[in-house]
Chain A
């Protein structure tokens, strides 16, 4: 039997020591099969982003293990070469489309730089790969020549997704990747992500505070609070018949048809 794509076991992150010690993530465990889609949902301070950053290698876990296809990936890479090797396995898309691109670099150069890094080849090969990526995320020739400031938030997020896909990773971490976008743009990007997953068989680790977005894109969901997992299971089950009161509170706090803030549970 082959090992799952991602296996996280007892992941814990502390900041500071002694009395000033803060626990950001506390014993989080989950598995993600190849091509699967796992959502981590929670409010601010739940530890969902720290968990994602540890899986990416941007933070060092205090304890616990991270296995990628059975190989240990707990410690962050120490050299550019090690990052490059790991970058072909896992990539990340950040929340803010405005600061996740170099404002002095054209979109085409941005993609070419990353493609060249992973797949050295001649100019023609490079060009065709960049065009292929642009095509995949719905960017045209003119947008490739533009600087980020000429693009809208949604177009920038397409660039960030293309850049992450350039390394042909098997796992894509999306850290609140659609949260900063207008509703009409959010739908475009969510559809795009669904298409990419269907076509390329990439696994998603989707971090969000938005239950409706999680429902749309994730097969399985983990609910986190104060660094701990309070509930996990298939998204449908978790949202339709939550077992933990916090999951229920989270779900019932979302404004929807017939929602009345005054009718909610007395919380104050």
Chain B
């Protein structure tokens, strides 16, 4: 498989007040032609910033190093027309909040046909016919009527379908989906995901899928990249993520999430809270919250290393812990005392 998108050593610093804060640290991954790659992380992990860097939508004053390559082009160097072409026809974005990304005073039809007409290849009539086809393809009934409606007349799920229709209109080679279903109900999420997957297969598009939901990433992505504090901590085939996590953080996410099929005696409670790259301690960023952490984890910065053929893990103990990460929590290792009510050490540290 040839790589369509290659992100290498991507480091991003944002200007906050008069200081620069690191949000991404040497992030590397690639997305192959037609492949779906998931980016999973909690708040502060930098998953949204990665997408912004790829789509060249970083806030002003951001310092970026490393490279983002799309095919044979360097995305970070694109200017003017080349950048416009990249955004218009190579990549397309689907956002979490579809409502905020549509103009409330413009009709759905205008929203869909605008880009087609601007690109100058089609006339209005032709563009409208294409838009109706697209709407029908994403499961919107009564497409002719919807074309004349305004965004506020459509439900969240319906509007997200319109967004998907708009993003696939130019037949991009890569879809950047930033939590596209987070704001939706679970049944609507299933419908929207089905449409997204079907469009992707039909048009042979690749997808970079950002989510906080490990289960969702596990079921719809080929590969999953797990981010913590602005760094890649694990990367492997999605199907294996739940059964054989390679990094303690991924394992903690799996165990912390309640199971719909059975009630656990007690959820694995990860002490403290997610941190950003800027606040991360020296050594392993996850060490203060990790139940497997040793002294050297706090002192030494682990590298992202391959674990035989399984995937990549940024953990000093990855080899010795392989297969044991999902072991039930022993009483002694439980970071929460027996009464279960004291704040973990990282909790205290975060309150400054």
Known A-B contacts: A184-B253, A184-B273, A261-B219. Give 7 more (CB < 8 A): A142-B348, A187-B258, A195-B339, A211-B260, A239-B260, A259-B219, A267-B187
Contact between chains at B186 and A187 (CB < 8 Å): no
Contact between chains at A190 and B351 (CB < 8 Å): no
- Given A136-B341, A137-B341, A155-B186 contact (CB < 8 Å): no
Contact between chains at A182 and B273 (CB < 8 Å): yes
- Given A195-B341, A256-B215, A261-B194, A43-B259 contact (CB < 8 Å): no
Bound-complex Cα distance A143 to B268 (A): 24
Give the residue of A146, A194, A252 whose beta carbon is less than 8 angstroms from that of B351: A146
Chain B 210-247 against A: per-residue CB contact (8 Å), 1 yes, 0 no?
Answer: 00111110111000000000000000000000100000
Give the residue of A154, A184, A253 whose beta carbon is less than 8 angstroms from that of B252: A184
- Give the contacts of B247-277 with A (CB-CB under 8 A): 252-253, 255-264, 266-271, 273-274
> Across the interface, which residues of A come within 8 angstroms of B266, CB to CB?
191, 194
**CB nearest neighbor in A for B337:** A138
- Give the contacts of A244-268 with B (CB-CB under 8 A): 249-262, 264, 267-268
> Across the interface, which residues of B come within 8 angstroms of A124, CB to CB?
none
Q: Which of B141, B260, B348 has the most CB of A within 10 A?
A: B260
- For residue A105, CB closer than 8 A to chain B, the reply is no
- Give the contacts of B294-342 with A (CB-CB under 8 A): 336, 339-342
Chain A 130-168 against B: per-residue CB contact (8 Å), 1 yes, 0 no?
Answer: 000001111110110010001111110000000000000
- For residue B154, CB closer than 8 A to chain A, the reply is no
**CB nearest neighbor in A for B335:** A188
Contact between chains at A255 and B213 (CB < 8 Å): yes
Contact between chains at B270 and A188 (CB < 8 Å): yes
Q: List 5 A-B contacts (CB under 8 A).
A: A143-B351, A185-B274, A190-B258, A191-B266, A253-B186
Q: Which of B218, B268, B270, B351 has the most CB of A within 10 A?
A: B351
Bound-complex Cα distance A257 to B350 (A): 34
- For residue B280, CB closer than 8 A to chain A, the reply is no
- For residue B43, CB closer than 8 A to chain A, the reply is yes
- For residue A69, CB closer than 8 A to chain B, the reply is no
Q: Which of B198, B252, B268, B269 has the most CB of A within 10 A?
A: B269
Contact between chains at A268 and B270 (CB < 8 Å): no
- Given A182-B43, A195-B339, A255-B216 contact (CB < 8 Å): yes
Q: Please classify the interface of chain B as helix (H, G, I), strand (E, B), loop, or mixed, using the class held by over half of its residues.
A: loop
Give the residue of A183, A195, A215 whose beta carbon is less than 8 angstroms from that of B340: A195
Contact between chains at B213 and A190 (CB < 8 Å): no
- For residue A125, CB closer than 8 A to chain B, the reply is no
> Across the interface, which residues of A come within 8 angstroms of B218, CB to CB?
255, 257
Contact between chains at A182 and B195 (CB < 8 Å): no
CB distance from A143 to the nearest CB of B (A): 5
Contact between chains at B193 and A261 (CB < 8 Å): yes
Contact between chains at A187 and B269 (CB < 8 Å): yes
- For residue B110, CB closer than 8 A to chain A, the reply is no
Contact between chains at B273 and A140 (CB < 8 Å): no
Bound-complex Cα distance A209 to B195 (A): 22
Q: Please classify the interface of chain A as helix (H, G, I), strand (E, B), loop, or mixed, using the class held by over half of its residues.
A: helix
Contact between chains at A183 and B352 (CB < 8 Å): no
- Tell me the A residues contacting B by CB distance below 8 Å: 43-44, 135-140, 142-143, 146, 150-155, 182-188, 190-192, 194-195, 209, 211-213, 215-216, 239-240, 249-262, 264, 267-268
- For residue B28, CB closer than 8 A to chain A, the reply is no
CB distance from B202 to the nearest CB of A (A): 11
**CB nearest neighbor in A for B336:** A191
Bound-complex Cα distance A152 to B273 (A): 7
**CB nearest neighbor in B for A143:** B351
- Given A184-B270, A215-B260, A257-B218, A138-B341 contact (CB < 8 Å): yes
- Give the contacts of B185-202 with A (CB-CB under 8 A): 185-191, 193-198
Q: Which of A43, A182, A254 has the most CB of B within 10 A?
A: A182
Contact between chains at A264 and B273 (CB < 8 Å): no
> Across the interface, which residues of A come within 8 angstroms of B274, CB to CB?
182, 184-185
CB distance from A242 to the nearest CB of B (A): 12
**CB nearest neighbor in B for A139:** B343
- Given A44-B185, A138-B341, A264-B190 contact (CB < 8 Å): yes
- For residue B133, CB closer than 8 A to chain A, the reply is no
> Across the interface, which residues of A come within 8 angstroms of B42, CB to CB?
182-184
**CB nearest neighbor in B for A107:** B351
> Across the interface, which residues of B come within 8 angstroms of A256, CB to CB?
215, 219, 260-261
- For residue B153, CB closer than 8 A to chain A, the reply is no
- Given A187-B267, A262-B194, A255-B273 contact (CB < 8 Å): no
- For residue B77, CB closer than 8 A to chain A, the reply is no
- For residue B347, CB closer than 8 A to chain A, the reply is yes
Bound-complex Cα distance A142 to B214 (A): 34
CB distance from B46 to the nearest CB of A (A): 14
Bound-complex Cα distance A204 to B38 (A): 36
CB distance from B192 to the nearest CB of A (A): 8
- For residue B139, CB closer than 8 A to chain A, the reply is yes
Bound-complex Cα distance A135 to B185 (A): 36
Closest 7 CB pairs of A and B: A268-B139, A187-B256, A43-B185, A216-B258, A184-B270, A261-B193, A253-B190
Give the residue of B196, B220, B269 whose beta carbon is less than 8 angstroms from that of A188: B269
Contact between chains at B351 and A155 (CB < 8 Å): yes
Contact between chains at A255 and B257 (CB < 8 Å): no
